[in-house]
Structure 1
Amino acid sequence: MKPLGKVLQQADLISSEQLEIALQEQSHITGLRLGEILALHGWLKQETADFFSQQWPTLLEQKTKQPLGKYLEKAGLLNQQQITTILVEQQQKKLRFGELAVLKGWLKPTTIKFFLEHLALESQLQQYLTQQGASPSSQSPVQIAKLNLEMVLPQQNNLKVSNPVENSAFAANSIEQESARLRLFSRSTIKLFKLDEKASNPEVLLAEVLAWTDGQPILTQKLCRLLAESEVEIAAGAEAATVQQLVENSLIKNWETQIAAEHLQGIGDSIIHNQQCDPLSLLELYQRIWQAGEINSNDSPEQAELLRLRLVVQKQNQLKVANRIYQAVFDRNWIEQESVKIKLFSRKNAELDAKASDPEVLLAEVVAWTNEQPILTQKLCQLLAESVVHLTAGSEVGTVQQLVENRLINNWETQVASEHLQYIRDSIIHNQQYDPLSLLELYQRIWQEGAVPTNGSSAQAELLRLGLIVEQQDQLKVANRIYQAVFDRNWIEQESVRLRLFSPSNIKLYKLDEKAACPEIVIAEILSWTDGQPILTQKICQILADSDIFIAAGAEAATVQQLVENSLIKNWETQVAAEHLQSIHESLIHNHQCDSLLLLELYQQIWQQEEIPNDDRSREQAELLRIGLVILKKDKLKLGNRIYQAVFNRHWVKLELEKIIRASLAQTTIYNPIPATHTWTVGNTVTSPEPKGTKRFLVLLAIAGLMVCGSSVMVLGFSVFRWLQVETIFKQGNALLQQGKHQEAIAKYNKLLKLDSNYYQSWTNRGYALAGLKDYNQMLESCTTATIINPEAVYAWNCRGEALYNLKQSEEAIAAFDKAISFNPKDPVFWINKTEALITLKQPDKALETINQGIKLLKQIWETERKDANAKELAIGLTYQARVLLQKQEYEGALKAYEQALKYNPNYFIALRGKGIALQNLKRDDQAIAQFYSLIERPQLTNNEKAEAWYYLGLSLCKFGQAQRAIAAFDQALKLKPDYPAAEQGKRACPS
C-alpha cells in the first residue's frame, strides 16, 4: 500500500512542498499524524485525510463500484448540495459527472482522473476522456489539466477549511496539546513562507496576519505569500503597519481584481445565489451581525447557513463576522448594493413587471440613473409602480428620465428622495471628522474632471464612506447621475461660499458680529443678491465691515439692499466692484471664442425669459457659463445673480447691440470666425463649419466714389445692410448646425443663398447639414458647388470626400481628402477621414501610414493645448490605428492601440468594444468575456451600444463553449435592438 502522502499527492490534493514540510514537522512532534498536520495547515480537510488513510485501501479491494459522486462525498471533496446540482445539470447538459465538477471549479481534472482510474469502471474513464477528446492512454494528467484551463469558472483553492485551530479534529483536548498545535502552526507557517527571513520578529508578524484573517486558511496563505514575495525587511515595531498596508492595498481595495478575489467572490456568491435559504434573509441577518458587532446565536436555518459558509463564526454563543477582511470587503455598501440587486432583478417584483412590456430594460434604465444606490433605486421603482401608465418597448428611457427630473432632481428638497439627499448634503456640510470645505473641494474636482485617481487620502475615504462617490479601476467618480445633477457645480459653489462666510473666522474677519444683531441673517441676505459669487460677496461684506452702521434684527433685508444699490449697481463703472463687472463686460463685448453679437442675443433671451433650456452643443451657452454671467440650475440657464441682472439690464444690452452694428459698418473684413474644435464620427463625419476667407469691400473708397449722387449712396447703404443680413443668417445657420438642428440650418443656408449664391461657405455648411439628414446625394451636390466657386475651399473638399465615402465611392473620396490635405496638411480630420476610406478599400498599409500622420498631428495639438476635447480626439485617432492593425491581423498591436486610446478617453465606447474584439482575435476569450461584461455594466451606454456589447459577448461565449449563455446574450442584444441581423445570425450559428 502506498503511503498516505504519496496517495494525496497523486490525487493532486497537496503539493510536493506541502508534503515535505508536513513530514519534517511530523518528525519533530510526536503524537500527530500526517493527515492532522496537513489539516492543521488548512491544506486539506480532516475528513479527506481520514478517508484516504482509513477507507481508501478497503475501497480499492471492493469489486462492486458505487457512483463517482458517492466517493467524492465520502472524501469530503463535494457536499450533498453540490452533488445534487451536478446531477440536475447532467440531465440538461448531457455531460459527465466529473466534467461538470471540473467545469464548476469544484475539483481539478487530475483529481477526477485519479478517482476514475482507481475506483470507477473502465468505461467511465473511457467516456470521461472521450468527452475531453482523447483516450486514456494518450493523455497525461498534465494534458487533462491543460484541457480545462480555459473554463469560464476558475477552480477553487484546495484550502477549504475554516480556522484550523478552532476546527481541528485531534483526539486530545488538553491545554498542552492545543499549545503544541499552535506552536506547530506558527513554526511551520513561518518556515513555509520564510517569514524569519523577512522580519526581525516573525512571530509578531504572523500574529498581525492572524489579527486580520483570524486564521482563515486561504486568506492567511495569501497574506503570508504577499509578505514572502515582498522585498521589504520588516523591522521590529513595523509589523502592524506593514501588514495593514498589504491587506488594504492587495486584498481589500478593488478586491474583485486582487489576489484573494476567487475566494472572496465565492463567499459573496454563496450568499447571493444560495440554494438553501432565501438570499435576502441571509443578507439581512448578516447586516444585523455586521452592524451590531455580534448577536446571540440560535438554531435558525439562516444562522446555520452563515456558519456553514464561514462568513461568521460562533464564540461563546455569539455570532460575529469571521475576520476583519470579510468585515471590510462585505461592508454596508456591499450589503445594500446586493440587497438592491436581489430585489430588483428577481422576478418577484410583479408590480413593476406589470408596468412595462420589457421590465428588464426598464430596470436597466433605473440603474443607469441610480447606479444601484439602494434608496434612490427603491424610490424610483416605487414611482414607476405607482404610475398609471403602461410602458411600451422603446419608451423606457424617456419615461424614467422624466420621472427622475420631475420627482427626484428638480426642487429635490421637497421631493420623494429629499430625506436621503439632505442626509448626503448634511454629511458633508456638517461633517465632524473632516474639514467640510476640503471635502467640497475634493468633490468639486471629481465632479468637474469626471474621475480622479485614488490616493488613499482621508478625505477620499470619507466621501467614499458617505457614498457620494464610488471607486472604479483606481478612479473616483460621482456615484450616480442623480447625485451629479443634484450636487452640481452651482450647488458646490454656493455651499463653498456659505461655509466660508458662515465660519466663525469670517464673521469675525468682517466684524459681522459687531455690525449686526443676527449676523447669520445678514449673510443670508447678502447671498440672496450675489448667489455666492465670491468677489461680489466679499465686496459687500467689506462694505459692511467698513461702515459705521449697526443692523438691528428685522432690518437686514432693507440695509443690504440699500448697500448693494448705492455701492455696487448705481454708476457701477466707478464703484467698488467696477473691476470685476468691467471684466464681465469686456468678456462679452470683445470675446475671442464666440461672436459677440450672438453672445449678446443669447444673453438678452435669458434676461427676458429668466431661464432657457441648456444645450451642451451651443458654444455661446458654454461661453456665457465660462464667463460666469449665467449659471446652470437643473438643466436650465439662468442669470448668475441679481446684481448682474441689475447692471447688465435690458437697456445695457440694447446699447451694446447698437454699438456692434455701428462698428460692423466701419469694418473692412466681412467675417473672421474662430475655428471650432474638430469633431468627427465614424462613417458620418461632420466637420466644423467652413471659415470664410477675407473679403474686402473697401467701404471708404466706395463712399468717396459714390458721393456724386444720392442714389448711389442709397445703393451702398443697401449693399452694406444686405451684407449684414447675410452674415447674421450665416451665423444663425452655423449655430443651428452645431446644435444638431439640421433641417432648420438648411433653411437658413437656403435663405442666405438666395441673397448671395456665390457664398461658398454656405454651400459647404449646407452640405454638412444634409449629412446630418443622411441625404448624401444632395450633400455631394452642395459641397461640389462650393469647390467650383472656390477651388481652394479646404472644408468643402473634405465635405465632398465625406459625401462620396457615404455613397460608397471610396476611391473618389480619397481624391477629395487628398485635395483638402494639399491645402491644409496640418488638420488631422482630413487624415482620419482618408484612413476610413482606405480601410473600406482594404488597403491597410496605406491606411496605417495615413493614420500615423493624423495621430502625430493630434499629439502635437494635445501637447500644446491639453484640453479634454483634444484628449478625446486623440483617442479617436488611436482607435482608427487599432482598426487598421486589426485589418492587418496584427492583433497585439491593435490591443495596445485600443488600450492607449482608453488612457486618453476611458469611456470611449468604440475603444472599449474594440479591446474586446482584439482579445477575441488573440483567442483570449476569457478576457474578452470579462471586457464585454464590464462594458455592459457601464450606465451611460445607449440601447444600440448595449446591444452591440451583448452581441460581441455572445460571440465570445460561443467560442468559449458556453452555448446557453451565448444564446442568452444574443437574445439580450435582440431585445435592445430587434432589427439586428448579426445577432440573429450569431444565435443561429452557435451550436446548442
Structure 2
Amino acid sequence: MSNEENKNYSYKVGGSIPVEQLCYVERQADTDLYEGLKAREYCYVLNARQMGKSSLIGRTMQKLKNEGFACTAIDLSQAGKSDATAQNWYAGVISGLNSGFQLKVNLKDWLGQHDYLTPVNRLKHFIEDQLLKKVAEKIIIFIDETDHLLNFQFTDDFLPLLKSCHDGNNNPAFQRITFALFGVATPYELAQDKTNIFNISKSIKLNGIEFDENKVAPLTRGLPEKVENPVAVIQQVLDWTGGQPFLTQKLCQKIVESQITIAVGTEVEQIEDLVQTKLIDNWESQDQPVHLKTIRDRFLNSKKFPSHDLLKIYQKILQQGEIVANDNSREQMELRLSGLVVEKDGKLKVYNKIYEKIFNQDWVDKTLADNNIMPIEQEIYEALKAGEFCYMLSSPLTTKENLLIKIQEYFKNNNIPYAVIDPIQIDSNRKASDFDFQWRGQWYSKVVAIIEKKFGLDYRAKEWWNKTKGEYKEDVPYACLFKKYLQCQLLHHKHDKNLVIIFDKIESIFDDLKFTEEIFTIIRDWYEQRRNNKNYKRLTFLMLGAAIPDGYEYKYHKSITGGWRTNLNNPSPPQVQPIVQKIEGKFRDIDPKVLLSRIWEWTNGHPVLTQKLFQLVLTDNSDIPEGQEAEVKYVDNLVQNIIQDCEV
C-alpha cells in the first residue's frame, strides 16, 4: 500500500465497524447469517461482548438491503431504562420499528387508540396493522442486545411473540417477516419453555478471525511500509489474539502507532515484544477502550454463579490446557460468555495467549485471596443480608443437611430470625394424588403454624388467618391469602427485623406442577413488590433442594452451589485444617498439601467423596512414599480401588 493510501486507512478499535471502513474481515458467520436470513430462516448469534456482533449486523443488513429486503435493527438496551414499565418498554420497541422502517405513524395517537390492549399485544397489532401493511418488501428485523430481556419480568412474552410471527398467526403476511437475535446470553436463559423461538431458529456460530492469506487482506493493507512482510506479521498477530476481533484490531493499530521496522524473519520477536509492552504490562492502565476489564468484571461479578465456582473451572483449564466442553454446564456457558474461554473441537480452552498471560495462575491466586472467598454458609448469609433471593442445588450426597445446620447456626449467631419449611415433614404421608384443594389448604395452614412458632408471633396472627380464611365459603385463594399473611402479620409484628424463610427439600412439591407454579409465583411476586414497597425487602427466601424444575430458575435468583470453597494450589481452608493436622501427625515425611491437591482434583470438592478419601488415607497402615509424584500416584491408587469396589 502506498503512503497516500495508508493515510486513508485506519483500524477500528472498539464499537461497530462502519460498512464503508476497509478493515473488516469477513468470517464464516457472515456467509451463514446472510444465507440463512435470505432464505427467511430465523437466526440467532449469542456470544461474548466485543466479538463483532454489531459489525456483523451492519454488514449483513446492507447486503440484504441491496437485494431488496426491508431491514432495520432494534437495540433492546435502548427500549427502556432499568425502571421502565411494560407500557414504556414495548412502546420503545414500537418506536424503533416506526422510525427504522420510516412508517411515519403518529405514535402518541396510535398508542392512545390502542391503550385497551396489553403492551405485548399492542406490539403484535402494530406489526400486523402498520408494518406488514405499509412495507411490501420482505422484512428482516435484527434484534440486538437480547440479554437486556433478562432485566425485566414483563419481557417474558417478547420472544414468544416473535415465534408467533414465525407460526403465522393465521395471516399469510407474516411469512414476509424474519427475525435475527443477537446478545450475550444463552438460549436457556432467554427462553426456557420447550417450544421456544430457538428451537425453530438457526444458530450462527461467531468464531474468531482465522488466518487465511486472502481473507486477512483487509488487515494487511493497513500496515505501514516499514512492515516488510505484512502477511507474516498478521499471522503472528492472530497467533497472539486467537482471532478475537477487538484485540486483533487493537494490536494492528499498535503496530501502526509504534512506527517500528519489522524486517523479514523478526516478526515473532517484534510482535511478542509489542504485545508485552503495549497490552500485557500494566494492562489495567492500558486497557483503553475497555476490553480486558469487561471480561474480568463479568467473570468476577456474575449474578448467576459465585465467582469461586467460575474461577475453579478456569483454573482447571489453565492447569490442564483444556477440559471437555459441556453445553449443559451453565457455569461453563457463563465462562464462554465472558469471552475468556472458547470451545474448539469439543474442548474448552483459554481464548488466546494474551488472556492466558494476563489472567494467569498468579492472577487466580491473587483474586481468590483479594476476594476473601468465604464459607458457603457465610456466602448465603451475605447474599440474603443484601436482599438476594437464593437457591442452592445439590445432590443428596453433598451433605446439604450439614450445611443447613451451619446456615441455621450462622443465622442464630447473627440474630437473624428464620423459619425452615420442610414440605416432607409437613405431611410425610402425602402422595402425588393428594395435591387437591383440601390438601392445599391444610398445607398452607401448617406452614402458617410453623411461621408463627419460629418467628414468635402472638395469637392474633393465627386468629387473622382463620378469620380471613373463613370469610370465603369456597375456593379460598390460599396463595393470595398467604402473601397477605406474610405482609400484614409477619412483617407487621416483626417490623424492626430482617427475616428469612427457608424452603428445604423444595423438589418434594414437584409432583404437582400447578402447586409448584403457585409456590414459585408467590416468591416471584414478592420479589417484584420490593420495587415499590421497601417493607417487602425485609423478608427474603432461601430454597434448598436437589433440583429446580425447568422454567423456574428466575432471573433474580443468586445461584449458590454446594461443595467446599478452596484453592487447588493451597487447599487448606479452615474446613479441612483438622484433617491436615492429622495427616501431618501420622505421616511426618510427606507434604499434606500434595495429597490434598490430588484429592481435590479427583473429587472436585465433593464433600462425601473428599471425606471418604481423607478417611482412607488416615486409616491406611501402609507407608506413603516420599516425593510429589509418589504421593500423587498413592492417591490415584486409592481412587482406583474405590472404582474397582464399585464395579464389583
What TM-score do the two structures reach when normalised by structure 1? 0.26
Which one has a larger percent strand, Structure 1 or Structure 2?
2
Structure with the larger helix share? 1
TM-score (norm 2): 0.37
